[in-house]
Chains A and B, each alone.
Chain A
Amino acid sequence: MKLDLTDKQIIQLLGADARMSNNQMAKAIGVTEGTVRNRIQKLIQNKIIKIAVINNINRMDNPAVAFVGLDVETRSKDSIAKSLSKMKEVRFVSTLIGRHDLMAFILAEDITKLSRVLYEDISSLPGVRFFESSIGLKYYKYDYRWARILD
Protein backbone atom coordinates (compact mmCIF):
# COMPACT_ATOMS: atom_id res chain seq x y z
CA MET A 1 0.00 0.00 0.00
CA LYS A 2 1.39 3.37 -1.04
CA LEU A 3 1.08 6.09 1.59
CA ASP A 4 0.09 9.59 0.54
CA LEU A 5 0.40 12.88 2.40
CA THR A 6 -2.94 12.44 4.18
CA ASP A 7 -1.88 9.00 5.47
CA LYS A 8 1.41 10.41 6.68
CA GLN A 9 -0.31 13.31 8.44
CA ILE A 10 -2.70 10.90 10.15
CA ILE A 11 0.19 8.67 11.25
CA GLN A 12 1.95 11.69 12.68
CA LEU A 13 -1.09 12.94 14.60
CA LEU A 14 -1.90 9.49 15.97
CA GLY A 15 1.76 9.01 16.86
CA ALA A 16 1.44 11.93 19.23
CA ASP A 17 -2.01 11.09 20.60
CA ALA A 18 -4.18 8.22 19.39
CA ARG A 19 -7.14 9.53 21.42
CA MET A 20 -7.59 12.47 19.07
CA SER A 21 -11.07 12.30 17.54
CA ASN A 22 -11.64 11.83 13.81
CA ASN A 23 -13.24 15.24 13.78
CA GLN A 24 -10.27 17.01 15.35
CA MET A 25 -7.94 15.24 12.95
CA ALA A 26 -10.08 16.14 9.95
CA LYS A 27 -9.94 19.81 10.94
CA ALA A 28 -6.19 19.73 11.56
CA ILE A 29 -5.45 18.17 8.16
CA GLY A 30 -8.20 19.79 6.13
CA VAL A 31 -10.07 16.70 4.93
CA THR A 32 -13.48 15.28 5.78
CA GLU A 33 -14.20 13.21 8.87
CA GLY A 34 -15.13 10.28 6.61
CA THR A 35 -11.73 10.37 4.92
CA VAL A 36 -9.99 10.24 8.30
CA ARG A 37 -12.15 7.32 9.40
CA ASN A 38 -11.49 5.34 6.19
CA ARG A 39 -7.79 6.03 6.18
CA ILE A 40 -7.32 4.97 9.82
CA GLN A 41 -9.22 1.77 9.14
CA LYS A 42 -7.03 1.00 6.12
CA LEU A 43 -3.81 1.82 7.94
CA ILE A 44 -4.72 -0.53 10.77
CA GLN A 45 -6.02 -3.32 8.51
CA ASN A 46 -2.83 -3.28 6.47
CA LYS A 47 -0.74 -3.32 9.66
CA ILE A 48 0.95 -0.07 8.76
CA ILE A 49 0.05 1.22 12.20
CA LYS A 50 -1.36 -0.23 15.37
CA ILE A 51 -2.97 1.69 18.19
CA ALA A 52 -1.21 0.71 21.39
CA VAL A 53 -1.03 1.42 25.08
CA ILE A 54 2.60 1.84 26.03
CA ASN A 55 3.70 1.79 29.63
CA ASN A 56 6.48 3.96 31.00
CA ILE A 57 9.45 1.78 31.89
CA ASN A 58 10.13 4.07 34.88
CA ARG A 59 7.08 2.58 36.60
CA MET A 60 9.11 -0.59 37.09
CA ASP A 61 11.13 -0.53 40.33
CA ASN A 62 14.48 -1.84 39.08
CA PRO A 63 14.21 -2.65 35.39
CA ALA A 64 17.21 -4.40 33.85
CA VAL A 65 17.91 -4.05 30.13
CA ALA A 66 20.39 -6.12 28.13
CA PHE A 67 21.44 -6.28 24.49
CA VAL A 68 22.49 -9.78 23.50
CA GLY A 69 24.35 -10.85 20.37
CA LEU A 70 24.31 -14.58 19.72
CA ASP A 71 26.46 -16.79 17.55
CA VAL A 72 24.65 -20.03 16.82
CA GLU A 73 24.79 -23.21 14.77
CA THR A 74 23.43 -22.14 11.39
CA ARG A 75 20.83 -24.87 11.18
CA SER A 76 19.47 -23.87 14.62
CA LYS A 77 19.07 -20.18 13.81
CA ASP A 78 15.34 -20.27 13.14
CA SER A 79 14.51 -22.50 16.11
CA ILE A 80 16.62 -20.41 18.48
CA ALA A 81 14.96 -17.21 17.21
CA LYS A 82 11.57 -18.80 17.87
CA SER A 83 12.57 -20.00 21.34
CA LEU A 84 13.87 -16.54 22.22
CA SER A 85 10.63 -14.98 20.97
CA LYS A 86 8.67 -17.15 23.40
CA MET A 87 10.54 -15.75 26.40
CA LYS A 88 8.51 -13.06 28.12
CA GLU A 89 11.52 -10.90 29.01
CA VAL A 90 12.90 -10.98 25.47
CA ARG A 91 11.43 -7.93 23.76
CA PHE A 92 13.17 -7.95 20.40
CA VAL A 93 14.55 -10.80 18.32
CA SER A 94 16.05 -10.63 14.87
CA THR A 95 18.43 -12.54 12.66
CA LEU A 96 21.34 -10.38 11.56
CA ILE A 97 23.61 -9.81 8.62
CA GLY A 98 26.94 -8.95 10.22
CA ARG A 99 28.01 -8.61 13.85
CA HIS A 100 26.26 -11.77 15.11
CA ASP A 101 23.82 -14.38 13.88
CA LEU A 102 21.02 -13.18 16.12
CA MET A 103 20.30 -10.22 18.32
CA ALA A 104 17.91 -10.02 21.27
CA PHE A 105 16.91 -7.19 23.62
CA ILE A 106 15.86 -8.14 27.10
CA LEU A 107 13.83 -6.21 29.65
CA ALA A 108 13.63 -7.96 33.00
CA GLU A 109 11.99 -6.85 36.22
CA ASP A 110 15.36 -6.79 37.96
CA ILE A 111 18.99 -7.83 37.59
CA THR A 112 18.45 -11.23 39.22
CA LYS A 113 15.76 -12.10 36.71
CA LEU A 114 17.95 -10.79 33.89
CA SER A 115 20.83 -13.02 34.88
CA ARG A 116 18.47 -16.00 35.04
CA VAL A 117 17.24 -15.30 31.49
CA LEU A 118 20.82 -14.97 30.21
CA TYR A 119 22.57 -17.78 32.04
CA GLU A 120 19.77 -20.31 32.42
CA ASP A 121 17.17 -19.79 29.69
CA ILE A 122 19.34 -18.59 26.80
CA SER A 123 22.46 -20.59 27.71
CA SER A 124 20.51 -23.82 27.72
CA LEU A 125 19.08 -23.38 24.20
CA PRO A 126 20.53 -26.09 21.93
CA GLY A 127 22.68 -24.65 19.16
CA VAL A 128 23.83 -21.50 20.98
CA ARG A 129 27.62 -21.46 20.58
CA PHE A 130 28.39 -18.16 22.21
CA PHE A 131 26.71 -14.94 23.22
CA GLU A 132 27.84 -11.57 24.46
CA SER A 133 25.66 -9.20 26.38
CA SER A 134 25.79 -5.53 27.26
CA ILE A 135 23.81 -4.12 30.14
CA GLY A 136 21.74 -1.02 29.38
CA LEU A 137 22.68 1.86 31.65
CA LYS A 138 20.80 4.84 30.25
CA TYR A 139 18.49 5.64 27.38
CA TYR A 140 19.37 8.85 25.53
CA LYS A 141 16.68 8.36 22.95
CA TYR A 142 13.87 5.94 22.34
CA ASP A 143 11.34 6.65 19.62
CA TYR A 144 8.45 4.46 20.72
CA ARG A 145 6.38 5.52 17.70
CA TRP A 146 8.20 3.01 15.52
CA ALA A 147 8.46 -0.79 15.60
CA ARG A 148 7.63 -3.81 13.49
CA ILE A 149 3.99 -4.90 13.55
CA LEU A 150 4.22 -8.64 13.28
CA ASP A 151 1.19 -10.48 14.64
Chain B
Amino acid sequence: MKVSLDDLDHKILKILESDGRAPAKYIAEQLSVNEVTVSKRLTKIIEGGFCKIIAIADFEKCGFDYLLPIGIRVHGEKLEEVADILSRLNEVFSVNVVSGIQDLEILCATQTLQETKIFLDQTLPAIPGIKSIAPAIASNVYKFETDWTPFANEA
Protein backbone atom coordinates (compact mmCIF):
# COMPACT_ATOMS: atom_id res chain seq x y z
CA MET B 1 0.00 0.00 0.00
CA LYS B 2 1.30 3.41 -0.91
CA VAL B 3 1.79 5.65 2.10
CA SER B 4 0.39 9.13 1.73
CA LEU B 5 -0.16 12.16 3.90
CA ASP B 6 -3.50 12.55 5.64
CA ASP B 7 -5.30 15.43 7.27
CA LEU B 8 -3.39 15.20 10.56
CA ASP B 9 -0.03 15.15 8.75
CA HIS B 10 -0.99 18.30 6.88
CA LYS B 11 -2.08 20.00 10.10
CA ILE B 12 1.27 19.17 11.69
CA LEU B 13 3.09 20.54 8.65
CA LYS B 14 1.02 23.71 8.78
CA ILE B 15 2.26 24.40 12.32
CA LEU B 16 5.83 23.56 11.31
CA GLU B 17 5.65 26.00 8.40
CA SER B 18 5.30 28.85 10.86
CA ASP B 19 7.70 27.35 13.42
CA GLY B 20 9.83 24.50 12.15
CA ARG B 21 11.35 23.90 15.56
CA ALA B 22 8.08 23.78 17.50
CA PRO B 23 8.40 20.91 20.03
CA ALA B 24 6.25 17.83 19.43
CA LYS B 25 4.60 18.51 22.77
CA TYR B 26 3.43 21.96 21.63
CA ILE B 27 2.16 20.61 18.31
CA ALA B 28 0.29 17.86 20.16
CA GLU B 29 -1.41 20.41 22.42
CA GLN B 30 -2.43 22.60 19.48
CA LEU B 31 -4.03 19.68 17.69
CA SER B 32 -5.41 17.89 20.77
CA VAL B 33 -3.60 14.65 20.03
CA ASN B 34 -0.90 12.97 22.06
CA GLU B 35 2.78 13.67 21.70
CA VAL B 36 3.69 10.14 20.62
CA THR B 37 1.29 10.44 17.70
CA VAL B 38 2.97 13.66 16.59
CA SER B 39 6.42 12.10 16.83
CA LYS B 40 5.31 9.07 14.85
CA ARG B 41 3.78 11.25 12.16
CA LEU B 42 6.94 13.34 11.92
CA THR B 43 9.00 10.21 11.43
CA LYS B 44 6.65 9.08 8.68
CA ILE B 45 6.74 12.49 6.96
CA ILE B 46 10.51 12.87 7.07
CA GLU B 47 11.73 9.30 6.69
CA GLY B 48 9.07 8.60 4.09
CA GLY B 49 10.73 11.28 1.93
CA PHE B 50 7.65 13.53 1.80
CA CYS B 51 9.19 16.58 3.40
CA LYS B 52 12.30 17.82 5.09
CA ILE B 53 12.42 20.30 7.92
CA ILE B 54 15.74 22.03 7.63
CA ALA B 55 17.49 25.37 7.84
CA ILE B 56 17.97 27.16 4.55
CA ALA B 57 20.95 29.51 4.52
CA ASP B 58 21.16 32.79 2.65
CA PHE B 59 23.83 32.79 -0.05
CA GLU B 60 24.66 36.46 0.22
CA LYS B 61 24.72 36.70 4.01
CA CYS B 62 26.99 33.67 4.19
CA GLY B 63 29.50 35.34 1.93
CA PHE B 64 28.54 34.16 -1.54
CA ASP B 65 28.48 37.51 -3.33
CA TYR B 66 28.13 35.98 -6.78
CA LEU B 67 25.16 33.87 -7.77
CA LEU B 68 25.64 32.54 -11.29
CA PRO B 69 22.83 31.00 -13.37
CA ILE B 70 24.81 29.46 -16.22
CA GLY B 71 23.62 27.71 -19.36
CA ILE B 72 25.91 25.05 -20.82
CA ARG B 73 25.97 23.32 -24.21
CA VAL B 74 27.58 19.92 -24.33
CA HIS B 75 28.71 17.44 -26.97
CA GLY B 76 25.70 15.11 -26.93
CA GLU B 77 27.38 11.87 -25.93
CA LYS B 78 29.14 13.59 -23.00
CA LEU B 79 25.99 14.95 -21.36
CA GLU B 80 25.82 12.61 -18.36
CA GLU B 81 29.56 12.73 -17.81
CA VAL B 82 29.57 16.55 -17.76
CA ALA B 83 26.51 16.64 -15.48
CA ASP B 84 28.30 14.28 -13.08
CA ILE B 85 31.49 16.32 -13.00
CA LEU B 86 29.55 19.56 -12.46
CA SER B 87 27.53 17.99 -9.64
CA ARG B 88 30.72 17.29 -7.76
CA LEU B 89 32.01 20.87 -7.86
CA ASN B 90 31.65 22.86 -4.63
CA GLU B 91 30.66 26.01 -6.50
CA VAL B 92 27.73 24.23 -8.17
CA PHE B 93 24.46 24.11 -6.21
CA SER B 94 22.14 22.73 -8.85
CA VAL B 95 22.46 20.90 -12.13
CA ASN B 96 19.52 20.32 -14.42
CA VAL B 97 19.53 18.62 -17.82
CA VAL B 98 17.28 20.67 -20.08
CA SER B 99 15.93 20.56 -23.59
CA GLY B 100 16.18 23.82 -25.48
CA ILE B 101 18.96 26.11 -26.58
CA GLN B 102 21.09 24.95 -23.66
CA ASP B 103 21.73 21.35 -22.59
CA LEU B 104 22.34 22.06 -18.92
CA GLU B 105 21.23 24.80 -16.55
CA ILE B 106 23.36 25.15 -13.45
CA LEU B 107 23.29 27.50 -10.49
CA CYS B 108 26.64 28.33 -8.95
CA ALA B 109 27.80 30.54 -6.11
CA THR B 110 31.20 32.08 -5.50
CA GLN B 111 32.57 34.33 -2.79
CA THR B 112 34.86 36.74 -4.60
CA LEU B 113 35.40 38.19 -8.06
CA GLN B 114 38.68 36.30 -8.24
CA GLU B 115 36.93 32.99 -7.51
CA THR B 116 34.26 33.84 -10.07
CA LYS B 117 36.86 34.50 -12.77
CA ILE B 118 38.70 31.27 -12.06
CA PHE B 119 35.46 29.30 -12.09
CA LEU B 120 34.26 30.77 -15.39
CA ASP B 121 37.61 31.02 -17.21
CA GLN B 122 39.40 27.93 -15.92
CA THR B 123 37.27 25.43 -14.02
CA LEU B 124 34.36 25.18 -16.48
CA PRO B 125 36.38 25.33 -19.74
CA ALA B 126 38.64 22.54 -18.44
CA ILE B 127 35.75 20.06 -18.31
CA PRO B 128 35.93 17.81 -21.37
CA GLY B 129 32.71 17.71 -23.38
CA ILE B 130 31.57 21.29 -22.72
CA LYS B 131 30.92 23.08 -26.02
CA SER B 132 29.93 26.53 -24.79
CA ILE B 133 29.04 28.47 -21.68
CA ALA B 134 26.39 31.19 -21.32
CA PRO B 135 27.41 32.85 -18.06
CA ALA B 136 25.53 35.41 -16.01
CA ILE B 137 25.58 37.01 -12.60
CA ALA B 138 22.24 37.31 -10.80
CA SER B 139 22.38 41.00 -9.96
CA ASN B 140 19.15 41.45 -8.05
CA VAL B 141 17.16 38.44 -6.87
CA TYR B 142 13.45 39.23 -6.59
CA LYS B 143 12.19 35.80 -5.65
CA PHE B 144 13.70 32.51 -4.50
CA GLU B 145 11.10 30.00 -3.36
CA THR B 146 12.08 26.85 -1.54
CA ASP B 147 8.89 25.06 -0.51
CA TRP B 148 8.90 22.52 -3.39
CA THR B 149 12.27 21.16 -4.43
CA PRO B 150 13.88 18.03 -5.77
CA PHE B 151 15.49 15.93 -3.04
CA ALA B 152 18.67 15.42 -5.01
CA ASN B 153 21.10 17.06 -2.63
CA GLU B 154 23.11 13.99 -1.80
CA ALA B 155 23.53 13.04 -5.45
Give residues in A with beta carbon < 8 Å to B.
1, 3, 11, 14-19, 40, 43, 46-60, 63, 65, 67, 69, 81-82, 84-85, 90-100, 103, 107, 132-150
Compute how far the CA of A19 lies from the CA of B102 in the bound complex, rounded to whole angstroms. Answer: 39
Q: Say yes or no: A56 contacts B141, CB within 8 Å.
A: no
Compute how far the CA of A53 lies from the CA of B22 in the bound complex, rounded to whole angstroms. Answer: 12
Set of chain A residues within 8 Å of B111, measured between Cβ atoms:
none
Q: Can you list 30 residue pairs at the A/B interface with Cβ under 8 Å? A: A11-B62, A18-B53, A19-B21, A48-B61, A52-B54, A52-B55, A52-B56, A53-B20, A55-B149, A56-B151, A57-B148, A84-B143, A91-B148, A92-B141, A92-B143, A93-B141, A94-B141, A95-B142, A98-B134, A99-B135, A133-B100, A136-B97, A137-B98, A139-B95, A140-B152, A141-B86, A141-B153, A142-B153, A146-B57, A149-B56
A-B CB contacts (within 8 Å), total count? 254
Chain B's closest residue to A150 (CB) is B144
Set of chain A residues within 8 Å of B57, measured between Cβ atoms:
11, 15, 48-49, 145-147
Whether B31 sits at the interface, judged by CB under 8 Å, is no
Using A84-B143, A92-B143, A142-B152 as known contacts, list a sample of 16 further A-B pairs with CB atoms less than 8 Å apart, ordered by residue number in A.
Answer: A18-B55, A19-B53, A50-B55, A54-B56, A56-B50, A57-B148, A57-B151, A81-B140, A91-B145, A94-B138, A96-B139, A98-B134, A132-B100, A140-B152, A142-B151, A148-B58
The verdict on A95 contacting B140 (CB below 8 Å), with A53-B51, A57-B151 known, is: yes
Q: Say yes or no: B52 contacts A3, CB within 8 Å.
A: no
Compute how far the CA of A69 lies from the CA of B136 in the bound complex, rounded to whole angstroms. Answer: 11
Measured CB to CB, the closest approach of chain A to B28, in angstroms, equals: 14
Q: Say yes or no: A16 contacts B150, CB within 8 Å.
A: no
Compute how far the CA of A60 lies from the CA of B149 in the bound complex, rounded to whole angstroms. Answer: 11
Chain B's closest residue to A89 (CB) is B145
Set of chain A residues within 8 Å of B69, measured between Cβ atoms:
67, 94, 96, 99, 103
Set of chain B residues within 8 Å of A1, measured between Cβ atoms:
61
Compute how far the CA of A103 lies from the CA of B87 in the bound complex, rounded to whole angstroms. Answer: 21
Give which listed residue, A57, A90, A96, A100, contacts B143 with CB less than 8 A: A90
The residue among B69, B143, B147 with the most chain A CB atoms within 10 A of its own CB is B143
Measured CB to CB, the closest approach of chain B to A143, in angstroms, equals: 4
Set of chain B residues within 8 Å of A93, measured between Cβ atoms:
141-143
Set of chain A residues within 8 Å of B150, measured between Cβ atoms:
56-58, 139, 142, 144
